[in-house]
Structure 1
Amino acid sequence: MPKRNLVIVCLLVVACLVAWAARDRNGRGRLFAEATGYIERMHLDPVDEEALFRAAMDGMFSKLDEHSAYVVAEQRQNIDGELSGEFVGVGLELAADSGRRWITVTTPVADSPAWRAGIAAGDRVLAIDGRSTDGMLLKDAVAALRGAVGSRVAVEVAPPEAPAGELSAVTDASPQESLSEQQTFSLERSVVRALSVSGDRRLANGAWDWMLEGEDRIALVRISKFGQHTLDELAVACAALVAAGPPAGIILDLRGNSGGLMAVAIEVCDQLIDDGVIVSTRRRPAAGTRPMPAAVDQIDVRRATPGAVLRDVPMVVLIDGLTASAAEIVAACLQDNGRAVLVGSRTYGKGTVQSFVPLSDGRSVLKLTTSEYLRPNRATIHRSPDDTDGELWGVTPDRNFEITPTGITLERIRDWRRQRDAVPRFGGPSALDIKRAESAIPSTGGADDGSAAALPRHIDPVIGRGLGALAIQRASQPAE
């Protein structure tokens, strides 16, 4: 056969294969389009085509696991923002108190437009771009503060005890002065980065103090999410601890950490252990491959590499029912490898991994569960919907170190933590700074004066139990 004819035949074969692959599988796609068309043309009430499509996608994913989903562009942007820790706004963390009319500033983000303007923790947001926040949903307030880089937004703010009067005009009041009356700030939106790694409390310059107050060289490192910048932030914390002289113990707080990027969590583990299995991942065999035993080629094992930081320093990890996903892997890794004692309560139990598959519209994606991770001892972490408390799932604290604060104690811990996390007012004290100086948090016992009563070990019983675990580890170390 002439070479030219052979090329033509090959091209025709390829074209036929492409056409065959693109056909509607079993005609279901054709039937779906046909049904949609009849609904749009014949249903008594007009139906939105997009609404029909979304309902169909939701119905399809309802047959899968609870973590798989159809994700539209707006939702994907929110997910990307959470993982990157970056968003475009003015840098205000807000809270809505059901007992109050206004939205309250939990803390400004350090070095953000709001912080540089002089807004501080405890201040009330009365209006955004002239729209009153009285009765406004928190999510709507957050959305109103977001926007394009370089755009401006007017934020009316008042100190906690000031009366909410008429809307005031935009002012150029100096941020060096403590906010004493109602003001409106014209803020320019910019890229704001929220940190995922934090310490015990804020210093006057907004930086973190990594040493636990009231303790002898005990470090506290809290990780709220495993995002794109977590490794760099953790490196900063570790460098600060090494520079100050190795601490006598480390408390790694993963309470409330819902997970994040699995790859980052694995790297964090690799920073903390020198050897051993970090995690095993069970995957579905690739399409078209011959099934093999699970132990042969369906399990990927990731091991640690030499070079752990602060490897001889005793460590405890704090966990709770909101510790999930990638955070559970870190806790399980450190427990199974004997690197840390776990203190707190049983974790959430999310042991599956989701992959994002882009669709042809270039905007929406499928979030599909594609694998399951197992702790180093090969036990499962994931809790299925039918699992009971008596079954094996999640990560449990070490024996004798289970503790779960509830009720008033839990509320007191949260309020105390919000105060310690608040960034001081730029150039002057905030309302919460003044509150700290004027009153002490009620004692939980074990202290003779107000200042001692407000120390971490007395306010947060989980930290207190963690300090006990560190004391046991330190006592068992060989004398130098």
Structure 2
Amino acid sequence: MQKFRLISSFSLLSLILFSIVPQFSFADEKSSEKEKDDDYYQMMKLFADTYEQIERNYVKDIDRRILVEAAIRGMVEELDQYSNYISPKDLSRFNQVVEQEFGGIGIQVHIDENNGRRLTVMTPLPGTPAYKAGIRAGDVIDTIEGKSTKGFTLPEAIKTLKGRAGESVSISVIHKGSEEAIPLTVTRELIHVATVLGDTYKSDDSWDYMLDKKEKIGYIRLTHFSRHSAEELQAAIEDLKKQGMKALILDLRFNPGGLLSQATEISDMFIKSGKIVSTEGRNSRNRKWEATAEGTYDGFPMAILVNRYSASASEIVSACLQDHKRAVIVGERTWGKGSVQNVIELEEGDSALKLTTASYHRPSGKNIHRFPGAKDSDVWGVTPDDKYRLRLTDEELEAFGDYRRNRDILDHNAKLDTEFKDKQLDLALDYIKSALNEETKPDAKEETEKAEKKPAEKDAKPAKKAAALPQPAKAPLVIQTT
């Protein structure tokens, strides 16, 4: 019986580890191949023996899955900070972050410390079930499915409010300034969390991407690189084109990254040719992404805002556009994450392994990754261009976070803070306006030639109109969206 248990445990663990350990690259020499196989099976036997001893002799019964998942996590922890095991219970939330889609009612909520720790609506998302039901910023969610939310933690509230699209949830809401709890039944829908935002809302509750209507300067915030980010960004730029945009500021501050495919697609929007990024891995095929001319947005000055929390995909875009001199980088040095993670399915898709499989390199070849122990004098991250470097203090960063969150609240009765100065945005505007002024200055040589030709052309036919410039073809407050 003991032998059977040992063999079955060994088989079980071998099967699990085969799904997460890379397959060997067979060497030309059979002896080298045999040594690798022998070493592998010796390690597997050690693992299985340990598992068997714990399961058979530990003082208390312990769930097999707990042991196996702990072993997997232990292996992954020996790798790097970006690799991790995603258990079945965590996989759904992980996918929601990547896809920015889930079944819910469409509100951002937080625990209001200034209102008895009540579950409070930060803002509804435009067009969602909560928005249509009349839920507004500042409302208290008093009950969910008849149960008081007093004492609820944020994860508990989120879990209860989320669910399958088409299913209803019963809540009661106390509107801001009232004491009466109003019962509501809200049908959940598939909520898409936009990753492309403007500075303020328009009267129709859509985002306003035109920051300076006189100078025609567009402003777009990209909060995350999710499945639909490139599509959203293109729609925002097309909206700005219709308004006659002459310049663009792309804000990547606090953007932690996301999908590599979206970073390359967005970079390709702004350059006609050349390398976007390249990746190199131990066992994965080295790859290089090249820009294509079709659909390029050019012919206008551009600035990209970054800070110390801009990472990964944000650094791919900012590094690419900086190296190609397509945009000026404004703000502060970025995080420094130059590694690529692949999500590998385990258990036929019930769990997953997020594994670092490659490093990426900017077009210039300069390093981006901040390795452990890296000094400030080392080359890593994306450093803003000369004259446009401005690092905020922790206090200034916290104040900016509060300012930005308040502007993101969908409440037409709220007063916007007009006193706060976003110094990094102001610096980006300084560059944009100076670039626009340079474009409008007449060329000295051209003006001289025009002056010399003017008398001779007095009786000539009117010249054709000049061609128009090409138009563009972490914080203390915890908020959750549900």
Normalising by the smaller structure, the TM-score range is 0.7 to 0.9
Aligned-partner SS, 1:355: strand
Aligned-partner SS, 1:471: helix
TM-score by length of 2: 0.79
- Equivalent residues in 2 for 1:216-295 (5 A)? 216-245=215-244, 247-285=245-283
Q: Which runs of 4+ in 1 moved over 6 A?
A: 20-24
Please name the residue that 2:136 is paired with. 120
Please name the residue that 1:38 is paired with. 53
Is the contact between residue 91 and residue 192 of structure 1 (CA under 8 Å) also seen in structure 2? yes
Query: C-alpha separation between the residues in 2 aligned to 1:197 and 1:241?
Result: 13
Query: C-alpha separation between the residues in 2 aligned to 1:159 and 1:467?
Result: 39
Superposed displacement of residue 61, structure 1: 1.0
The counterpart of 1:359, out of the listed 343, 346, 351, is 346
Is the contact between residue 315 and residue 339 of structure 1 (CA under 8 Å) also seen in structure 2? yes
Aligned residues: 408
Query: C-alpha separation between the residues in 1 aligned to 2:317 and 2:276?
Result: 8
Is the contact between residue 260 and residue 325 of structure 1 (CA under 8 Å) also seen in structure 2? yes
Query: C-alpha separation between the residues in 1 aligned to 2:282 and 2:37?
Result: 24
Q: Percent identity?
A: 35
Superposed displacement of residue 208, structure 1: 1.4
Matched, 1:198 2:174: no
Superposed displacement of residue 342, structure 1: 0.8
Matched, 1:433 2:412: yes
Superposed displacement of residue 322, structure 1: 1.3
Most deviating of 303-312 and 145-154: 303-312
Q: Which amino acid aligns with 1:222?
A: R
Query: C-alpha separation between the residues in 1 aligned to 2:219 and 2:79?
Result: 40
- CA distances 1:148-193 after superposition (whole Å, capped 9, x unpaired): 2222212222233334xxxxxxxxxxxxxxxxx4312111112111
Matched, 1:466 2:465: no
Please name the residue that 2:419 is paired with. 443
Superposed displacement of residue 255, structure 1: 0.8
- Equivalent residues in 2 for 1:27-426 (5 A)? 27-100=42-115, 101-163=117-179, 181-212=180-211, 216-245=215-244, 247-285=245-283, 299-406=286-393, 409-423=396-410
Aligned-partner SS, 1:477: helix
Is the contact between residue 195 and residue 225 of structure 2 (CA under 8 Å) also seen in structure 1? yes
Is the contact between residue 314 and residue 474 of structure 1 (CA under 8 Å) also seen in structure 2? yes
Q: Which amino acid aligns with 2:103?
A: V
Please name the residue that 1:176 is paired with. none
Is the contact between residue 171 and residue 184 of structure 2 (CA under 8 Å) also seen in structure 1? yes
Superposed displacement of residue 70, structure 1: 1.5
Superposed displacement of residue 407, structure 1: 5.2
Query: C-alpha separation between the residues in 2 aligned to 1:389 and 1:331?
Result: 19
Query: C-alpha separation between the residues in 2 aligned to 1:405 and 1:198?
Result: 22
Aligned-pair Cα RMSD in Å = 2.4
- CA distances 1:262-302 after superposition (whole Å, capped 9, x unpaired): 0111011111111222112112246xxxxxxxxxxx75322
Is the contact between residue 212 and residue 218 of structure 2 (CA under 8 Å) also seen in structure 1? no
In structure 2, the CA distance between the partners of 1:182 and 1:215, relative to structure 1 (3 Å rule), is farther
Aligned-partner SS, 1:366: strand
Query: C-alpha separation between the residues in 2 aligned to 1:111 and 1:335?
Result: 37
In structure 2, the CA distance between the partners of 1:284 and 1:405, relative to structure 1 (3 Å rule), is same
Q: Which amino acid aligns with 1:443?
A: E
Query: C-alpha separation between the residues in 2 aligned to 1:22 and 1:366?
Result: 23
Superposed displacement of residue 341, structure 1: 0.8
Superposed displacement of residue 308, structure 1: 4.8
Aligned-partner SS, 1:441: coil
In structure 2, the CA distance between the partners of 1:113 and 1:133, relative to structure 1 (3 Å rule), is same
Superposed displacement of residue 412, structure 1: 4.1
In structure 2, the CA distance between the partners of 1:124 and 1:409, relative to structure 1 (3 Å rule), is farther
Superposed displacement of residue 312, structure 1: 1.0
In structure 2, the CA distance between the partners of 1:91 and 1:182, relative to structure 1 (3 Å rule), is same
Instruction: Name stretches of at least 5 consecutive residues in structure 2 with no aligned partner.
Output: 1-33, 443-482
Is the contact between residue 268 and residue 296 of structure 2 (CA under 8 Å) also seen in structure 1? no
Superposed displacement of residue 409, structure 1: 4.1
Query: C-alpha separation between the residues in 2 aligned to 1:441 and 1:315?
Result: 26
Query: C-alpha separation between the residues in 2 aligned to 1:274 and 1:396?
Result: 23
Superposed displacement of residue 22, structure 1: 10
Query: C-alpha separation between the residues in 2 aligned to 1:404 and 1:96?
Result: 31
Q: Which amino acid aligns with 2:232?
A: E
TM-score by length of 1: 0.79
In structure 2, the CA distance between the partners of 1:50 and 1:399, relative to structure 1 (3 Å rule), is same
Superposed displacement of residue 224, structure 1: 0.9
Q: Which amino acid aligns with 1:333?
A: C
- CA distances 1:399-456 after superposition (whole Å, capped 9, x unpaired): 1212233455444433332333233xxxxxxxx42232xxx52624xxxxxxxxxxxx
Query: C-alpha separation between the residues in 1 aligned to 2:295 and 2:427?
Result: 26
Aligned-partner SS, 1:391: coil
Is the contact between residue 271 and residue 297 of structure 2 (CA under 8 Å) also seen in structure 1? no
